[in-house]
Structure 1
Amino acid sequence: MRILWTLPYLPWPTTSGGKTREYHLLRNLAARGHRITLLVQSKTELDDATRAALEPWLERLIVVPRRPLRSVRTLLAVAFARPPMLASANGFSPQLQQAFETLLQEPWDVIQIQHSYAFQPFEAPLKQSGKPFILVEHNIESGLGAASYLDFPAWAKPFVRFDQWRYRQWEKRVFPLTRELIAVTEADAKGLSRMTSRATHLVVNGVDCDYYAKVCPDRYSRRLLFIGNYEYGPNVDAVQWALDHIMPKVWNIDPLVRLTIGGYALPPDWPQRWADPRIDWLGYVPDLRTVQREAAIFFAPLREGGGSKLKVLEAMAAGLTVVTTAQGCSGLTAIEGTHYLRGDDANALALSLAEAIEQPNRLADIGEAGRTYVRQYHDWSVSAAQLEGIYSRVHQQEDAQACA
């Protein structure tokens, strides 16, 4: 099929869960023979490394620059425009709209828009052309709450409530326009179905299981690992909660436990703020396997966010025992105590970590059970097959309508 795919970010390097998902789905669908044109509005320039990573999987790559967040146009739109904050920041781009209008003149089997917050430039061209499209929502944005506004000061709460109301109105406006609506977790699919009174399809988050298959974690290392993208507020909150409230309790029980913290956009002041020598600070890690094989446990103390967490799936695929919260395992059908360990407050998490790190054999059993689980339910080939099935159904419906 000829697929027109839009994104509000370049999916390389894979520094976030969203970028990782998009890159692997594009790669898997291209490997199945689909011809994809990717239209991107990006806040970063297209460099040679990104071009080399993406172009082998694409028929065309078209990148339009996004204006700075602090531009006058963006600030005015965020404050006064009908779309909510995220949609305003990613919208009102004449260059992107024109590029999309030009592409719509070509025949497409599938037009796929990622994220309702990126929809504004596409609305008028789609309405004018009458062409059906698919919308993929990684989260129900109006319900994310603190995950979207974590850095806002207390005095901005009235704007936060106003913007959440705007996003609910935006979803009510955008979702009925779609031919198909896709979610990444079963809970979100049910939530979207309740909002729209129509079926919402599921394309799960995944992991490249073969890539992580040969990782052998060091169950005796007494080392915990957390990896995140720190442009995303919930990851910042997770580290702060862990270091202020959880790890002191762990170290009171077992002072030999070590913690590795890495990921993209790591705040430079953190090593001084938490200057404990048992913490190892890393920046962006291009190959997670190098740190996964040194750890005994992947510790994900997430309190905010949505969807399912690719960092958790990647840890499971590497055979690491995951210790996390209800939020950290959201969107998964994994079984607590079999595939991962869970605690939802600082005391429970600290006790779970301290007990588990003393039991290497138990870590091995849970880690390998988690590895088996993600291979069966969350390999990217599973996600690509789910998406391909939706494409086929849409194409059959269009053929049936054409014949009628």
Structure 2
Amino acid sequence: MKQRLRKLWFGLRGVNPDAVIVHFWTGDVSRARRMTREILALEPARRHFVVHTGGADPPPDCEPVPLPPASSGELWLMLRHRFRDLRVGLAPVLFDGTPNPLRAAAVAFAPGSILAFNANLERHHLRLRHAIASVLFLAGVPLDRIFLRPSWLYPFKRDRTRVPEAVAVVDGRPTDPSRPRVAVLSPYFPYPLAHGGAVRIFSLLREASREFDIFLFAFARDPATQEFEPLREFCAKIAVASLPHYREPRWATLAPPEVREFDTAPMRRLLREITAEAGITLRQVEYTQLAAYRGDILVEHDVTWDLYGQVRRRAPSVSAWWNWLRWRVYEARALRRFHAVVAMAEKDRALLGVPHARVIANGVDLGRFRPQPERPGRRLLFIGSFSHFPNVEAFLFFWREVWPNLAGVSLTVVGGPDHLLHWQRFTGTPNLPDAPGLRIHGFVRDVRPLYVEANVVVVPTTVSAGTNLKVLEGMAMERAIVSTPSGCAGIGLEDGRSGVIADSGPRFAQAIEALLAEPERRSAIAREARRLAEERYGWEALGAEQVRLWRELSTGRPRGAGGPPPPHGHSPRPEREESAPPGPPR
């Protein structure tokens, strides 16, 4: 009876009672095709239409509806006319951030039936009763974070941060009673040497282990599966805690979310128990997000508030301002809780603005990264882990503003572990760029053959802090480097002598073309870069500076240094005289 009444109702209106699905291809064609295939698999029995404005080849199971390019209003009128006898039950629309008048026409045509797909092909029904969720989805917020609620507002929410209890503790070389004992805390396990931070931690600990017994504490997704053997050669003990599954909205905490994410009870327990058992007298904390654990030395791999300040200046928004403010306040207070602070370069030491900061620069293994003969060609190399968002920004800058100005060149990119996952997280797009001559790798265990193959190393960093270890590797391998000013900041490259520095896309491309056209000049610049690396950046000399700092603090440390960490969940807080907000950046 219900079906008969339904047919009668739609018959009186002159509309087919069977709902159809109208797909709107309003963005990248490859994504739109994947969107349509997904819906076809879910609803194979329905009648499907694909609406597009040219340049599309819909699947054979869909009826194409080509429309001429027009304004949103004109397209809406065309849609009304074309589907006047049909009932639209579902309207998948691609919202990938590209401007398209057909998208607005689709929303106006079938406002209650829109199934929105974002650039990652996550889908969400746009509903007025879920207006906030719909707006967040269209703004690019990942679907799994749209419905997160802050624990202080929803104390009984189900989707809470989970901290696995799994840990792994592995003994290394025997301890020596004559050697002082130092704990080093890192937000990740520093092997394999997949990015610059891992290279630095591994290399300096190896050098310092000649005079100190080192106890390494680190985080990892799966503590038991880490490659312990290389570190066991120079660490007395290695303790690895699980990374938490952090489920707080980024905006919802006063402390930066990275700080909250790494503040876990299992790690505090490991630190407390092993410090007491082994008689550890000194603690070095790597990276600002771990400053809540306190200690004697804080290693600022970058000045984080300055990094977020650069992002804020490039793309102003409330979110960018909030991220910058939290880091500015947190970092300024954290610096005062340590007896020594280590910066990567003189410019970073000046930015920190505290008298107890000193520079221990990044370095390179000069014995491992040796010059090799260069073969003729037009081959470029960019290395930068996509887990660090400035490297994604760098590649986007090169791809959009430099690559179109080059001809007949090849580019090899090394994006590090899980590079596609990080690319999707930072850009909101499911696929990496693809073009003739472009090769994008994930993690490469040994990058030396890639340097040997390259004619020019490119460092197109636009947002940066600290110093770039990949610049140092290129210098050590005697390859000419073209860099933005921020990409080689603090290293001492001289434009035209030991490298080439360019501050815009066209100039960057011109610099590359000039070097490729002049092999003798390219070779002279590369030789000078190697000489500079030998003079300043060998790990042995830098390791001696690390040892000197540890000796100073071990023998002349103020009373109370290296005390136990504060209770779980507490961040470092300033003394009473430090309660005023920090001044403007220096």
| TM-score, scaled relative to structure 1 | 0.86
- Which of the residues 42, 51, 55 maps onto 2:220? 42
* Equivalences for residues 18-29 of structure 1 within 5 A: 18-29=197-208
* Equivalences for residues 2-401 of structure 1 within 5 A: 2-30=181-209, 32-47=210-225, 50-69=227-246, 71=247, 75=248, 78-91=250-263, 93-105=264-276, 106-120=278-292, 122-123=293-294, 133-145=296-308, 157-192=317-352, 194=353, 196=354, 198-218=355-375, 220-251=376-407, 256-264=408-416, 265-267=418-420, 274-398=433-557
TM-aligned CA deviation for residue 241 of structure 1: 1.7
Residues 307 and 44 (structure 1), Cα distance of their counterparts in 2 relative to 1, 3 Å cut: farther
Distance 1:55 1:336 in 2: 42
Moved more, 54-63 or 268-277: 268-277
TM-aligned CA deviation for residue 61 of structure 1: 0.3
The DSSP-based 3-state class of the residue aligned with 2:283 is strand
Q: Which has the higher helix share?
A: 1
The one-letter amino acid of 1:94's match is A
Distance 1:291 1:209 in 2: 17
How many residue pairs were aligned?
374
Moved more, 359-368 or 317-326: 359-368
| TM-score, scaled relative to structure 2 | 0.60
Contact 1:341 1:352 in 2 (8 A): yes
The DSSP-based 3-state class of the residue aligned with 1:211 is coil
The one-letter amino acid of 1:134's match is I
Distance 2:213 2:517 in 1: 51
Distance 1:337 1:153 in 2: 31
TM-aligned CA deviation for residue 209 of structure 1: 0.8
The DSSP-based 3-state class of the residue aligned with 2:406 is helix
The DSSP-based 3-state class of the residue aligned with 2:463 is coil
Contact 2:483 2:502 in 1 (8 A): yes
TM-aligned CA deviation for residue 33 of structure 1: 3.4
Contact 1:85 1:163 in 2 (8 A): no
Contact 2:303 2:348 in 1 (8 A): yes
Distance 2:431 2:364 in 1: 34
The DSSP-based 3-state class of the residue aligned with 1:53 is helix
Residues 57 and 273 (structure 1), Cα distance of their counterparts in 2 relative to 1, 3 Å cut: closer
Residues 245 and 320 (structure 1), Cα distance of their counterparts in 2 relative to 1, 3 Å cut: same
Contact 1:147 1:234 in 2 (8 A): no
Contact 1:217 1:318 in 2 (8 A): no
The one-letter amino acid of 2:521's match is R
TM-aligned CA deviation for residue 95 of structure 1: 1.1
Percent identical among aligned pairs is 22
The one-letter amino acid of 1:343's match is A
Distance 1:273 1:109 in 2: 47
**1:23-77 Cα deviation digits (max 9, x unpaired):** 11111212x23210001122343425x11222112100001111123x3xxx16x
The one-letter amino acid of 1:138's match is H
TM-aligned CA deviation for residue 108 of structure 1: 2.8
Partner of 1:126: none
Distance 1:299 1:110 in 2: 39
Q: Which runs of 4+ in 1 moved over 4 A?
A: 146-150, 268-273, 399-402
TM-aligned CA deviation for residue 214 of structure 1: 4.2
Residues 172 and 246 (structure 1), Cα distance of their counterparts in 2 relative to 1, 3 Å cut: closer
The DSSP-based 3-state class of the residue aligned with 1:165 is helix
TM-aligned CA deviation for residue 162 of structure 1: 2.3
Residues 339 and 98 (structure 1), Cα distance of their counterparts in 2 relative to 1, 3 Å cut: same
Contact 1:250 1:350 in 2 (8 A): yes
Partner of 1:128: none
Distance 2:448 2:430 in 1: 23
Distance 1:346 1:145 in 2: 22
Which structure: larger Rg? 2
The DSSP-based 3-state class of the residue aligned with 1:291 is helix
TM-aligned CA deviation for residue 189 of structure 1: 0.8
Tell me the C-alpha RMSD between the 2 structures: 2.6
Residues 382 and 170 (structure 1), Cα distance of their counterparts in 2 relative to 1, 3 Å cut: same
Partner of 2:48: none
Partner of 2:28: none
**1:324-346 Cα deviation digits (max 9, x unpaired):** 10011111122221111111001
TM-aligned CA deviation for residue 289 of structure 1: 1.2
